[in-house]
C-alpha cells in the first residue's frame, strides 16, 4: 500500500473558512470608523486556544502589535482577537498604547474573558488616534454567530483598499480525527513582508501547544507570506495570528508526532493560499505573478532570487504592458547578489523559453504577447548552481496603483 505524502493528505474544504474548525464564532459591526462600512470585528474561540503570531519587522511597530505580544507572552493562549479597520493606531505614542489596551480590556469584559486572552489588531491610516467612543460602542454592540454570513461580515470589517475578501479552508486526518484550518486575511498595499505586511488570521481545532504552533508558523512563514510583494513597502501594523483550540481532540502535536508534517503542510497550504490571494489583489493589480526558481545554491537563495524578480518595478511594469522583456528578469537576478554562474542561467516566461545556458532563444513575440495578456503569469528560472528551490508571488504595476495611493487619506 502506497503511503500518502503530507501534501496529498491535505483536502480543500469547499465554501469553508475561519468558522469551519470546531468552536469558533465571529461578529462584526459598523462602528463609524469608516463611515457606514463594517469596520470592527472579533473572532472568539469557545475555549482558550494555543496561539502564535509573527509580526512586522518595521521598527515603528504599532500599539496593537505590542499589546498582542504582551497577551500571547502571558500564557501562550488567546480566546479572542478584536480588529478594526480605518485607523492603524500607529505612531500614536502613549495614547495609542493606552487605546489598544482599552480595546483589549473592553473586549475581554464584553465576552467574559481574561484580559490577556485577547489580541488586538488595527489597520488603516497611520498617525491618527482611534475614535475610542465609537470603538467602545462598537465592541458593546458586537454579537457572535457561526453562520457563513458571520464569517463574511468579519472578513469585510478588516478590509481597507482590498477589492475582495481573502479566505481559505483545508482539512487533514490526524490521529484518525478530522482537523480543519480556516483562514482570512487583508492586504493590498504596503505588501513586502518580512514578517508580515498584512493582517492574517487562522483558526484550527488542532491540539497543539503554543510553543509547537509557533515553531510550525515560523517554519512556513518564510515559504509563504514572506515571499509576496506588491510595492516593496513594509507596514507598521501587521501580523499573522493562529489560534488552535484543540477541539478536534487529536493527540498533542509535536515534531515527533507521526502526523507532524501533515499539520505543517496544512498550515503551509493555508498560508500560501492567503499569501497568493493578497498578491493577486495588490492595489491596482491586473495580474498575479508567480516566480519559480530552482538550481540555486540553497532554498534560501532560491526564495531570495524569486522575490527579487517579482518585486522588480521593471519586471512588474513589463508584465502589465505584456512586454516579454526577459532582460529585466536577468537584471533582477543579477541584482539579488545570489551565488550563480552567469553563463548557466535558464529563463522562461510561461511555456516560452527566453534564455538557455545564458544564450538568447528565438521565440514568437506574438505567442509571448498572448501569454502575457493572461491574468496569471509564471516566470521560471533555473540557475544550474545547486539544489535550492523557492517561489515568490506578486502582481503587475499599473497606473491605478499610483491613483489609489495618491489619494489614500482623502
Q: Is the pLDDT of residue 410 over 50?
A: no
205-222: average pLDDT: 95
Higher pLDDT, 92 or 406: 92
Q: How confident is the model at residue 222 (pLDDT cuts 50, 70, 90)?
A: confident
Three cell numbers, residue 360: 538568447
pLDDT score at 232: 47
Listed as own residue / partner, the contacts of 128-132 with beta carbons closer than 8 Å and 24 or more positions apart are: 128/87, 128/88, 128/89, 128/92, 129/87, 129/89, 129/92, 129/95, 129/96, 129/99, 130/33, 130/84, 130/87, 130/89, 130/92, 130/96, 130/99, 130/103, 131/32, 131/33, 131/87, 132/99, 132/102
Higher pLDDT, 239 or 179: 179
Q: Is the pLDDT of residue 63 over 70?
A: yes
DSSP count for the chain of H helices, then E strands: 11, 16
74-78: average pLDDT: 95
Among the ranges given (84-88, 110-114, 160-164), the one the predictor scored with the smallest mean pLDDT? 160-164
Domain at 288-406, CATH homologous superfamily: ArgJ beta chain, C-terminal domain (3.10.20.340)
126-132: average pLDDT: 92
Catalytic amino acids?
197
Class of domain 11-278 (CATH, top level): alpha beta
In this predicted model, what pLDDT tens digit does every residue of 251-291 receive, in sequence order? 999 999 999 999 999 999 999 999 888 877 766 678 889 99
pLDDT score at 161: 67
152-172: average pLDDT: 88
In this predicted model, what pLDDT tens digit does every residue of 100-123 receive, in sequence order? 999 999 999 999 999 999 999 998
Q: Is the pLDDT of residue 141 over 80?
A: yes
The most confident of 31-35, 98-102, 321-325, by mean pLDDT: 98-102
Q: Which has the closest alpha carbon to 388: 293, 291, 309, 296?
A: 296
Residue written as grid cell 492603524: 88
pLDDT score at 235: 63
Q: Is the pLDDT of residue 1 over 80?
A: no
Q: How confident is the model at residue 208 (pLDDT cuts 50, 70, 90)?
A: very high
- In the chain, where the domains are located: 11-278, 288-406
pLDDT score at 259: 96
pLDDT score at 21: 98
Q: Is the pLDDT of residue 196 over 60?
A: no
CB count in 10 Å sphere of residue 350: 17
123-136: average pLDDT: 92
Q: How confident is the model at residue 165 (pLDDT cuts 50, 70, 90)?
A: confident
Can the peptide bond before residue 196 be classed as cis, meaning omega within 30 degrees of 0? yes
pTM given for the model = 0.80
- CA distance linking residue 193 with residue 175, whole number of Å: 34
Pairing between strand 177-186 and 239-244? unpaired
In this predicted model, what pLDDT tens digit does every residue of 332-351 receive, in sequence order? 999 888 899 999 999 999 99
Percent of the chain residues topping a pLDDT of 70: 90
Runs of H (alpha helix) within 143-259: 148-157, 210-221
If you average pLDDT over every residue of the chain, what do you get?
A: 89
- CA distance linking residue 61 with residue 88, whole number of Å: 10
**If residue 73 lies in a helix (H) or strand (E), which one and from where to where?**
helix 63-75
pLDDT score at 397: 78
Q: Is the pLDDT of residue 167 over 50?
A: yes
Amino acid at each position: 500500500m502506497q503511503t500518502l505524502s503530507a501534501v496529498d493528505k491535505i483536502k480543500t474544504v469547499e465554501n469553508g473558512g475561519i468558522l469551519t474548525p470546531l468552536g469558533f464564532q465571529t461578529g462584526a459591526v459598523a462602528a463609524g470608523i469608516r463611515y457606514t462600512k463594517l469596520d470592527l470585528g472579533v473572532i472568539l474561540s469557545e475555549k482558550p486556544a494555543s496561539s502564535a503570531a509573527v509580526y512586522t519587522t518595521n521598527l515603528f511597530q504599532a500599539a496593537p502589535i505590542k499589546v498582542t505580544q504582551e497577551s500571547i507572552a502571558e500564557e501562550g493562549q488567546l480566546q479572542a482577537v478584536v480588529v478594526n479597520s480605518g485607523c492603524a493606531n500607529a505612531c500614536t505614542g502613549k495614547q495609542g498604547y493606552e487605546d489598544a489596551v482599552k480595546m483589549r480590556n473592553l473586549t475581554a469584559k464584553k465576552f467574559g474573558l481574561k484580559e490577556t486572552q485577547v489580541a488586538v489588531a488595527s489597520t488603516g491610516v497611520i498617525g491618527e488616534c482611534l475614535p475610542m467612543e465609537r470603538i467602545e460602542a462598537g465592541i458593546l454592540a458586537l454579537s457572535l454567530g457561526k453562520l457563513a454570513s458571520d464569517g463574511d461580515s468579519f472578513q469585510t470589517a478588516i478590509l481597507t483598499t482590498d477589492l475582495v475578501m481573502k479566505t481559505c479552508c483545508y482539512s487533514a486526518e490526524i490521529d484518525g480525527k478530522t482537523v480543519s484550518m480556516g483562514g482570512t486575511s487583508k492586504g493590498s498595499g504596503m505588501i513586502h513582508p518580512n514578517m508580515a505586511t498584512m493582517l492574517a488570521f487562522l483558526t484550527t481545532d488542532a491540539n497543539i501547544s503554543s510553543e509547537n504552533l509557533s515553531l510550525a508558523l515560523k517554519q512556513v512563514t518564510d515559504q509563504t507570506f514572506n515571499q509576496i510583494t506588491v510595492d516593496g513597502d513594509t507596514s507598521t501594523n501587521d501580523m499573522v495570528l493562529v489560534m488552535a483550540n484543540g477541539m478536534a481532540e487529536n493527540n498533542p502535536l509535536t515534531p515527533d508526532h507521526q502526523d507532524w508534517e501533515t499539520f505543517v503542510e496544512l498550515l503551509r497550504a493555508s498560508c500560501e493560499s492567503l499569501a497568493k490571494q493578497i498578491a493577486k489583489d495588490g492595489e491596482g493589480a491586473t495580474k498575479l505573478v508567480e516566480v519559480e526558481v530552482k538550481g540555486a545554491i540553497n532554498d534560501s537563495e532560491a526564495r531570495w532570487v524569486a522575490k527579487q524578480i517579482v518585486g522588480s518595478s521593471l519586471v512588474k511594469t513589463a508584465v502589465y504592458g505584456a512586454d516579454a522583456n526577459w532582460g529585466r528578469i536577468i537584471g533582477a537576478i543579477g541584482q539579488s547578489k545570489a551565488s550563480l554562474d552567469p553563463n548557466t542561467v535558464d529563463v522562461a516566461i510561461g511555456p516560452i523559453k527566453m534564455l538557455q545556458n545564458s544564450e538568447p532563444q528565438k521565440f514568437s513575440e506574438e505567442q509571448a504577447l498572448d501569454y502575457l495578456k493572461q491574468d496569471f503569469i509564471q516566470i521560471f528560472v533555473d540557475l544550474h548552481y545547486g539544489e535550492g528551490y523557492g517561489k515568490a508571488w506578486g502582481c503587475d504595476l499599473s497606473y491605478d496603483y499610483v491613483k489609489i495611493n495618491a489619494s489614500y487619506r482623502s
